[in-house]
Each structure stands twice: as C-alpha cells, then as structure tokens.
Amino acid sequence: MISRRQIRIKTLQTLYAYYNSGDGQVSKAEKELLFNINKAYDLYHSLFVLLIEIANYAESRIDLARKKLVPTDEDLRPNTRFIDSRLIEHFRNCDQLLRYIDVKKISWVNYPELIKELYARIIEDEDFQDFMSAEHVTFTDEIKLFNHLLVDIIYPSENLEQVLEEQSIYWTDDLEYMVSMIIKTLKRFREDGSHKDPLLPLYKPTAGSDVPEDKEFAIKLLRKSIANKEEYIEYIKTNTKNWDLDRIAFMDILIMQMAIAEFVGFPSIPTKVTMNEYLEIAKVYSTSKSNVFINGVLDKVASQLKESKKIRKSGRGLIGEFDDRPQK
C-alpha cells in the first residue's frame, strides 16, 4: 500500500529531523523512519474507524428521537439506510480492522465534536440526501456515496486537520494519500462479505523474502543518504559554482542528496524516474523556485555520474538509460 513516493517523502522528513537533532544516531533515524511509515498505516485504519463512529453517532441520534416523550412519525419510523448500509456492516465485522484497532487502541472517543460536525455536514449534503431518498440503492451506490463522503466532506474538514495534527505530526501530510487508499480498498469489499481480507497490507509482499522490498528501499535510501553525504554535497557544489552552498535552501540540498543516493545506489530505478519523483516532491516541500533549480543541478550531476560510470543501471525498463550520454 505505501507507495515509493510516500517512502521518499518520509525519508526526507526523517533526514530533516536527523540533521536538526544533531545527535548523529543513524539507528535512531531508522527507527523514526519506520515509525513514520507505520503511523501512516495507523491513519489508514483510523479513517475506517471514523466512518464507523459517524454511523454510530447517526444511530444514537435515531435512538434518542425514538425516546422522545412525544415522538413524531418520522422519529418512530426513521430512515436507517445509512446506518444499516452493507459497507458499514462490513467495516464493523472486518476481522483485520478489528484486530488492528484493538492492538493499536485506535479510537475517536476524545473527539465527539468532530464526529458531530462531520455528521451535520453529511446530512446536509445533496448527494447524501439523494442516496437516502432513492427508491432503491445498490452496493455500488453505497461505495460511490462513501467515496464522495471521504473526498468532499471528510478530507476537506478543517476540524479533522486540527485533530490529526494533535494525534501525529505526520498525519496531515498523509491524509490525502490515505483517503485514496481507503477508496481503493472499498472496491475490495464484496456485497456478500465473501472477501475476508479486504484491507491493504502496509508493504507489498516480496516473493522469497521475509523483508518487503519497499521496507528495504526505505532503510537503504536513508542509510545511503546519510553515509555518503559529503560525497553527494561535493557533487552539488561542483554543479552550483555560481552559488554559495549557504544560499541554497536546506530542503533543496536534502532533496538533491537523496536523489543522488538513488541515482547511485538503486540500479533498477531509471534515472528519469528518480528525477521526476524528487521534482514532484520539491513542488510541495521546498520553495516556489526550487523545482527549476533542482532540475538543472540534478541533470548535470546525473550526466557527471554517468560519464564516471558511478551510475550503473540494470533490469527491465532501462533501455535507453544512457541514450542522452554525450557523444565522444
């Protein structure tokens, strides 16, 4: 489930914290990186729990209405389509989800105002009202509704953003990606409940290895970025002769440092893929002008490394890797 881009971002965050802490403990940085990745997986499960809590709140409102001294006909015969939805039932009975939230003690019990606010926005939503009033809805209609609730109501909530910041410094950066993973997961649920393991694993399984390839990628990228810092900084200096290194944004240096580590240390990843990934990350995590600057520097560094044969690529998808090499 965790993507290579997310891993790169989390490695960048960990590197930033590592250099700012000043303690120089690589093992501690590795633990922090894996903790950061695991926290993203906690958020994935927490969003499922949030959907359940919203349904629970809706059910409690219905129960209170029924207990009025003078209940209306609507109070006595409420529309329970949302709380009785097959998806909510699947969430409540998903063994994978239940085990995880039990072990990690995931709960929204301390945030009743958030649940109340989200529910209020949901019942005012036109698509939700259409869903509730439709003569008949399919399981596909339920999935479509929950996709809409996640993308258009839950994700944009400012209150949710504040709560996430309270729970983890990492979660606001992870939210958009984890919402997309929830949407992907919803397609794995089956109407009859026959899919017993619908949730996505944290790492894609790697055949023939107990350690997932993506987990190895994360640790190796962090280690190489730190261990070869001086060498990589020298490449940056060489290709920014008109710049004083102190004038280059710290985040720009870290991004280029990681990109060079990936150029050299990962033979199966095409240079252009690495370039594109870090340029996209720079758009979000560095200054407005960083993208163009980083692109120019990394392009020169890549050419230099290819000429000195420091970049050695192999594997599928690498045909033409050296086609841009200057002709002798």
> Domain segments of the chain: what residues?
4-186, 228-307
- The pLDDT score that the predictor gives to residue 209 is 83
In this prediction, residue 327 has a pLDDT band, given cuts at 50, 70 and 90, of: very low
Q: How confident is the model at residue 321 (pLDDT cuts 50, 70, 90)?
A: low
Mean pLDDT of the chain: 93
Average pLDDT value for residue range 98-109: 97
C-alpha span between 61 and 58 (Å, rounded): 5
pLDDT of residue 325: 47
Type of residue found at 60:
S
Helix (H) or strand (E) holding 304: helix 290-307
Check pLDDT > 80 for residue 326. Answer: no
pLDDT value at position 317? 55
Tokens for 168?
Answer: 């983890």
Q: Which of 17-31, 140-154, 236-250, 279-293 has the lowest mean pLDDT?
A: 236-250
Q: Report the half-sphere exposure of 38 (CA within 13 A, side-chain side).
A: 8
41-58 burial, b for 16+ CB within 10 Å, e for fewer?
bbbbbbbbbbbbbbbbbb
pLDDT band, residue 316 (cuts 50/70/90):
low
**DSSP designation for 321:** T
Q: What is the pLDDT of residue 210?
A: 86
Instruction: Give the Cα separation of 167 and 147 in Å (integer).
Output: 24
pLDDT of residue 26: 96
Could you tell me which CATH number the domain at 228-307 has?
A: 1.10.940.10
DSSP code per residue over 33-52: HHHHHHHHHHHHHHHHHHHH
Is the pLDDT at 242 greater than 70? The verdict is yes
The band of 136, judged by pLDDT with boundaries at 50, 70 and 90, is: very high
